[in-house]
Amino acid sequence: MLGLAADRLRADMNRLLAFLFHQGILDEQFLQLQQLQDESSPNFVSEVVNIYFHESEKLLRSLRSLLMDREFSDYNKMGIHLNQFMGSSSSIGANRIRNVCVAFRAASEQNNRAGCLRALELLEHEYCFLKNKLHELFQIEQQRVLAAGVRYPMQNI
């Protein structure tokens, strides 16, 4: 029963991953990331992703405050932020966010504030979406690990 649950959870996880890939939300870099996770660092992915969330929220906050500023002119700084965002997004394979970042940066290079605002909205939306989905994924994984953790000792014994 428990084994079945683990299998189902694994299938759920795969489905979710497949969905994320299909939608272009994630790309193969995420798989690479998963491959890096092994016994020596069991929580590698979630660790990295959490750092990513942490950093991204900071970046998003500062981006928003930059844009909300009345006499806003610091497109350069925004570009740096966006670069960072893009770099980390491509590192974890958050493909769609990265694409939005590209658009965002293009808008910022043209000093197109309206475009920047639009892109920021979109970015925040995508970010929330990704965050939710990844949280979901990690939850499933945790459950799976728990389920597997229950099962393996039983098998071993």
Give the residues lining the site for other proteins (CB under 8 A).
14, 21, 27-29, 31-33, 35-38, 40-41, 44, 47-48, 51-52, 55, 79-80, 82-93, 98, 101-102, 105, 109
Q: Which is nearer to other proteins, 91 or 143 (CB)?
A: 91
Instruction: Tell me, rounded to whole angstroms, the distance of Cα 19 from its chain centroid.
Output: 14
Q: Which is nearer to other proteins, 55 or 150 (CB)?
A: 55
Compute the distance between CA of residue 131 and CA of residue 124 in angstroms, rounded to an integer. 10
CB of 93 to other proteins, least distance (A): 8
Q: Which is nearer to other proteins, 38 or 71 (CB)?
A: 38
Helix (H) or strand (E) holding 84: helix 75-92
CB of 40 to other proteins, least distance (A): 7
Match 């459950």 to its residue by tokens.
Answer: 143
Structure tokens at 113: 């504030």
Q: Which is nearer to other proteins, 48 or 122 (CB)?
A: 48
| Burial class of 89 by CB neighbour count within 10 A (0 to 12, 13 to 18, 19+) | buried
CB of 25 to other proteins, least distance (A): 12
Residue 26 phi, psi (nearest 5): -115, 160
